[in-house]
Structure 1
Amino acid sequence: MVKVVDSVKTKNKKQRSAPHAPRSQHAPQTQEAPRPQEAPLQQDHQYEQPCDQPPLQSPHRHQESRSASLATPHIEQKLVATVEIQNMFVNEIGLITRANAPLNVNGWKKVTLEQKMDMAKALKFKFDVDLEDPDIWEFIDGHMSKSYKEWKAKLHKHFKEYAHDLQLARATPPTNKVFVTHRKIEEWHWLVDNLYTDEKYQKRCKANVNNRKKKEYEHTGGSRPFLKHKEAAEKEGQHVTLIDNWNNMHMHRDKGVWINEVAENKGKKMKAAMAMYIQQESASSSNPSEQISVSDVHQLGIMTKELGIGSGKRIRGLGSNLRVETSSRSTSRYSKTSMIEDERYNKLSETVEKLCDIVKQLQAGINDRSRKKRKRNSKYNGKGPRLRPDSSDSDSDDSTTNHHGDNLQGGGDGLYTGLEDIGHGH
């Protein structure tokens, strides 16, 4: 189904004037999503000691694997509310990425999740955006990756002008407009010494050049995503199908002609397939063809067959928002949500370890007290008075206190009273 959600809204003008923040110092902190209400503890099973309970499991330790079988094409990601805000949002992602992304890594995949999140937080200076939402995060990460790739391509293009003299190349970084004002010369030196002169990198660049030469056609849509072109046309009162939208993006708008013959053939085939479907539906339902509408899902099926499927189950030529769904969706998504859950798991594990240490200390004190009582009772050898099991021992040597100063006399009651207080404290 189509999921276009008003997920990002601009803030007021005062907030929009906030400067870009370096990722390590001024990036705003996101608020964690409200935690779901915890289920009550089950009382049907009691453990002898709290530390005897089975270890906590991280919420991401057991995940379903993604199936390779294909199902219905669909629009997977949530997008920004309007065309205007979308353009501002994407531009801001590019500015933040170029200003803060590390250069001393070989590709966006080598940038850590923490670094990506620091950059994404800077978006909250100008936009109300939920970074907890996996779909929104995937949208942001995809555009940061694209901006990073395009930016480093410009830097490499500058290097190639001086590639004949490496010393000159090291001493001639790009202009501030390309390299960004606050970037250090050491970052440029790293690119020259470790990346641009690496044989594997050079081979990969040549392969990419050859692959681009094999590209059959371009489009005339600019930087605006596929679905946003459709939305803009509908705002102008035009009823545009997904297939019509693709055709419009592969024509010269001022001339009304196709960009090349390959694009024309594909566009006409998809249009013919949709017309045939309408004709069949009209014949079977006895309704005029003008009353037959073709669902987005069916159109995507036609487009998938004609355009093919790229990496990430992405339908070629439709951007990152239109993908082929798998029959078994993975429950794990590499997003901020997973990072937050792992942090909660680690903090909870640390708390449990501390509680176990406290329990061991308390239990050791009780055991020591019991040994002293048995030792005293054994002196009488069955003769004379004996300490009663429920008696209160007032000797300072026999009293056990924890680090809070609480007296733990009275056997096990003191132990579990102390634990109950600990539980309330947390």
Structure 2
Amino acid sequence: GKFPEISLDDYECVMAQVERQYNIRCYNLYRTYRTTKVRPIHVAPEDWQWLIDNLWSDEQFQKRSKQNSINKSKQEMKSLVGTINIETYEVTLVRNPETGAWPSAVDVWRAIYMKANGTWSIPNGAEILNNLEEAAETHKERIAAAPIPLAEHFALVLGRKPNHSRGVGIGAVNQGAQERYRIRARAEAADQRASDAQNQAAALLEEVERLT
């Protein structure tokens, strides 16, 4: 077929990402309507009017939007560059090129909330860092065994609510987050297999050339 077969886990993860992008686009359109009332050029006039009449003017939608804003604010903290949640930041994390290890919760906390001069951008930055370091020692095995160690580490220190680590925006027990990590691991494994196969093919070619 045109598209390769993918596992159910990968399919669900992809669909979750598609839904997330769709919701973000809808939110951006609504925010534009709420602030400027000006229709974006990429939205047809009839579509814009339909959204106003059938969605944004609906009382239930407005209540839901207000509650979503409240919930979002509870999952964010002030960082050095404005408001950021760690779910957004964790997408940019990369392995240590020397050890192959992912950054720890301590590393992430420092990266987001510690200034270049060593001071903190939030009042309790040092206190939470100390708590994260203590949790890393006290709950080392529990953190390592968690589906998403980074999220579990933050949850132990900052608390947890259903499906999320409170205040950090990471789904500590969220299936979509776990799938994201699994896909990342599979991609790395596939890259490694491809690299190994390429090296093996090069070695075989060299051997053939030597014998001929």
- Scaled by the length of structure 1, the TM-score of the pair is 0.32
Residues 22-421 of structure 1 mapped to structure 2, 5 A cutoff: 29-31=2-4, 33=5, 132-161=6-35, 169=37, 172-174=38-40, 176=41, 180=42, 183-215=43-75, 217-218=77-78, 226=90, 228-231=92-95, 234-235=96-97, 241-252=103-114, 254-276=116-138, 296-297=144-145, 301-311=152-162, 313-316=163-166, 317=168, 319-320=170-171, 322-323=172-173
> Which AA in structure 1 matches 2:145?
V
Q: Is the 8 A contact 2:105 2:154 kept in 1?
A: yes
Q: Provide the rounded CA distance (Å) in 1 between the counterparts of 2:86 and 2:132.
A: 22
Measure the CA separation in 2 of the matches of 1:157 and 1:224: 20
- Percent of aligned pairs with the same amino acid: 18
- Provide the alpha-carbon RMSD of the alignment: 3.8
**CA distances 1:203-225 after superposition (whole Å, capped 9, x unpaired):** 22222333444456145678865
Post-superposition Cα deviations, 1:115-141, rounded to whole Å, max 9, x if no partner, equal: xxxxxxxxxxxxxxxxx2233223322
Using the alignment, how far apart are the partners of 2:143 and 2:73 within structure 1? 35
Provide the rounded CA distance (Å) in 2 between the counterparts of 1:189 and 1:324: 36
1:344-401 per-position Cα deviation (integer Å, ceiling 9, x unaligned): xxxxxxxxxxxxxxxxxxxxxxxxxxxxxxxxxxxxxxxxxxxxxxxxxxxxxxxxxx
> Equivalents in 2 of 1:185, 1:201: separation in Å?
21
Shift of 1:201: 1.3
- Structure 1 residues 230, 319: CA separation in 2 closer, same or farther (over 3 Å shift)? farther
| Bigger radius of gyration | 1
Q: Say how many residue pairs are matched.
A: 167
CA distance, structure 2, for counterparts of residue 238 and residue 253 of structure 1: 26
Using a 3 Å threshold, how does the CA distance of structure 1 residues 229 and 213 change in structure 2: closer, same or farther?
A: closer
Deviation at 1:227, TM superposition (A): 6.3
TM-score normalized by the length of structure 2 = 0.58
Higher fraction of helix? 2
Report deviation, 1:197: 0.9
Question: Taking CA–CA contacts closer than 8 Å with sequence separation of 6 or more, which of the two structures ends up with the larger relative contact order?
Answer: 1
Aligned to 1:273, the other structure's residue is in SS state helix
Q: Point out 4+ residue stretches in structure 1 off by more than 6 angstroms.
A: none
Identify the residue that residue 185 of structure 2 maps to in structure 1.
none
